[in-house]
Amino acid sequence: MAAVVGSGAYAFDVIEDWARLPPGWRAPMAAVAVDSRDRIYGFNRGEHPVIVFDKHGEYLDSWGPGLFVFPHAIRADRDDNIWIVDRNHGQIFKFTTAGELLLTIGTRGYRSDTGAGDMIYGYKILTHPGGPFNLPTDVAFSESGDLFISDGYANCQVHRFSPQGKHLYSWGAPGTGPGQFRLPHGVWVDRRGRVLVADRENDRVQVFTQKGEFITQWPTELIGPATFWVDRDDIVYLPEHNGGYFSVLTLDGERLARWGSEKSKSCHGVAADSEGSVYFVQAVASEGGKGRRIVKYVRQRA
């Protein structure tokens, strides 16, 4: 019998061994995306970086060997373009669903000057913002097609780009005040047109206009929020990386359900399909928390 997590209208059956890899493959997952046909894309740090499954966990396809050095985020836009963030290459890529490269943003290996030197976790010591990019983390899309890219491991900014990849402007500075960041790790543009930013090491979500003007921060207590998925009903699914929790919230930050434990620390990605099932990337307890896999959560219906 599957375990049950969550509560009330947001109770889920847990399917831990959902994804079936080809024999002999290892795929320590970093992120997950779902396209309009409910194909699930696992972005991982193994030999087969992008692995595509159907919603039942059956293997469909894979692509991208040799293209990436440190997979960090993957997103499907409304046209089913697949966007990828390679943190250490400092690049954002746009692909077709079959892995054909359409666009590259950023210069491979370039790191902007933020005072962090060559440190990977430079957010701890940076002295000033540096512009695109210094170890970027995530990408989100507005209704106009503009891109919002969080840039956090050794920077403290969100960058806005045109759909063609032209840099428009950036905002953010190091610190703990409004509009300041300590590792902006995830980003999402909601249906109100607001930009949600997971300010991971400040344990908060900040909310901005698309011009970078601070609106508010969520009042809900969070432990290292990592990234977002917002469904068609404006329900937010958010992994809390540093605490090992998974939260379900409203767009105003009101918590509707929460589950998890220290065993799930380092939870890193989330997406959902058209049936309301949610796919979280989380640590594998049987591997001492050193590996991650995609776990499927099937919402219980009354």
pLDDT of residue 291: 80
- Write out the residue range of the structural domain in which residue 49 sits: 4-299
The mean pLDDT value of the chain amounts to 96
Buried b (16+ CB within 10 A) or exposed e, 88-114: bbbbbbbbebebeeeeebbeeeebbeb
pLDDT of residue 216: 98
Burial (CB < 10 A; 0-12, 13-18, 19+), residue 269, is buried
* Contact yes or no for 149/131 (Cβ under 8 A): no
pLDDT of residue 290: 58
User: In angstroms, rounded to a whole number, what is the distance separating the alpha carbons of residues 31 and 47?
Assistant: 15
pLDDT tens, 16-28? 999 999 999 999 9
pLDDT of residue 202: 98
Q: Tell me which residue of 98, 103, 96, 63 sits closest to 81, measured CA to CA.
A: 96
Q: What is the CATH number of the domain that holds 65?
A: 2.120.10.30
User: In angstroms, rounded to a whole number, what is the distance separating the alpha carbons of residues 99 and 91?
Assistant: 16
User: In angstroms, rounded to a whole number, what is the distance separating the alpha carbons of residues 33 and 82?
Assistant: 8
User: In angstroms, rounded to a whole number, what is the distance separating the alpha carbons of residues 220 and 70?
Assistant: 31
pLDDT of residue 1: 60
pLDDT tens, 137-146? 999 999 999 9
Is the dihedral angle over the CA atoms 42, 275, 75, 72 positive or is it negative?
negative
Report how many domains make up the chain: 1
pLDDT of residue 285: 63
| Claim: this prediction has a pTM higher than 0.85 | yes
User: In angstroms, rounded to a whole number, what is the distance separating the alpha carbons of residues 220 and 282?
Assistant: 22
Q: Which residue numbers in the chain have pLDDT < 50?
A: 288-289
End-to-end CA distance of the chain: 18
